[in-house]
Amino acid sequence: MSLQADVSATFTADGAESFHVDAAFEVERGESLVILGPSGSGKTLLLETVAGFHPHDGPVTLDGRQVSGTPPEKRDFGFVFQDYALFPHMTVTENVDFGSRYHDDTRDSADLLAELGVGDLAERHPPTLSGGEQQRVALARALAIRPEVMLLDEPLAALDVPTRQSLRDDLADVLADVTAVYVTHNRTTARALADRIVIMNDGQVVQSGTPEEIFERPSSAMVADFTGSNSIDLADAPSIRAALDLASDGVAAIRPEAITVGNDGDVDGTVERVVREDATNRVTLAIDDVTVEVFTDRTPDVGDDLWLTLPSDRVHLCSGRAESIPA
């Protein structure tokens, strides 16, 4: 079941300035599309609009069938909310079975809960569950109605790191053959779950493609910055421009993991910061008038000079100069 959406909507809440979403995307049958972008970019509003929670202009279709005028419960979408949205007065089983009020063909709640590893919680109430347990119940509830498309709004955002990693692995299995749209600001989650990625900023889609295209060949400095690449303004980095033998100024994007740290190389920089990240160090170096981040097993001191090798096949020229993008 393919999903196509090309929607335009304006939102105003509590006297705040209006926010406009104008975005289009398409998801093929069995594909997982991740909508990735900074906080406030309109990701959740877009997902909620497609789900039918907000009025909008433009079509939303399932296999060519128009569903724009259909209420949310009749759109054949399973929706997983960031805050779980479970009914606290109902048991886990009653929560999972809730969709049977609107759908005739539903899955067995006991089987679903068992598949998701929470079968022993069937008679518990949501307030007595951990965040990870609640999210698994919310996922079971969404799957119970046999949805044509799964819509997931940052379901891992409120979880601690070990729980998030465990549930992310489970989601990868659950969504393997499901048509799904997944909203997140977490690039690790996006890379783990996506067949394709849509990048949003200021209510619009600014790039779409495979994970490799998005992370290795960003279309702009904004996308490069948000997805964790170095975006280097070559006008401020003549040493890097010369090392790469580039004829013109512009913005060069390069993944920090693609850069090699050694005793010699293409260009040298001065260490400004060293941050331990799991089994490696993220090192920030000053080169000319820019900073460059690399990952290395070395533990240099601030002020040390390090040589970097920049593989030309991993350097991508992109447009624009970005302001700081919030996580």
Residues 156 and 244 in one domain: no
- Report the distance separating Cα 157 and Cα 81, nearest Å: 10
222, 253, 283: which is the final residue of a domain? 222
Tokens 């975006």 -> residue: 231
| CATH code: domain of residue 259 | 2.40.50.140
Residues 50 and 103 in one domain: yes
Six-digit token string for 211: 């994970």
Residues 77 and 110 in one domain: yes
Residues 234 and 157 in one domain: no
Q: Is 303 a member of any domain?
A: yes
Q: Is 98 a member of any domain?
A: yes
Residues 32 and 115 in one domain: yes
Q: Is 326 a member of any domain?
A: no
Q: Is 325 a member of any domain?
A: no
Residues 285 and 178 in one domain: no
Q: Is 39 a member of any domain?
A: yes
Residues 116 and 249 in one domain: no
Residues 241 and 217 in one domain: no
Tokens 């849509």 -> residue: 198
Total domain count, the chain: 2
Residues 177 and 44 in one domain: yes
- Report the distance separating Cα 196 and Cα 210, nearest Å: 4
Residues 179 and 295 in one domain: no
| CATH code: domain of residue 119 | 3.40.50.300
Q: Which domain holds residue 60?
A: 3-222
3-state helix, strand, coil in the chain (%, to 5): 30, 30, 40
Q: Is 240 a member of any domain?
A: yes
196, 222, 248: which is the final residue of a domain? 222
Residues 50 and 196 in one domain: yes
- Please choose, from the candidates 298, 274, 299, the residue with its C-alpha nearest in 3D space to the C-alpha of residue 284: 274
Q: What is the pLDDT of residue 325?
A: 46
Tokens 């900073």 -> residue: 291
What does each of the 327 residues of the chain score in pLDDT, given as a tens digit? 689 999 998 887 666 678 899 999 999 999 999 999 999 999 999 999 999 999 899 999 999 999 998 999 888 899 999 888 999 999 999 999 998 888 888 999 999 999 999 999 999 999 999 999 999 999 999 999 999 999 999 988 888 888 888 889 888 888 888 899 999 999 999 999 999 999 999 999 999 999 999 999 999 999 999 999 999 999 999 999 999 998 777 899 999 999 999 989 999 999 999 999 988 999 999 999 999 999 999 999 999 999 999 999 999 999 766 444 444
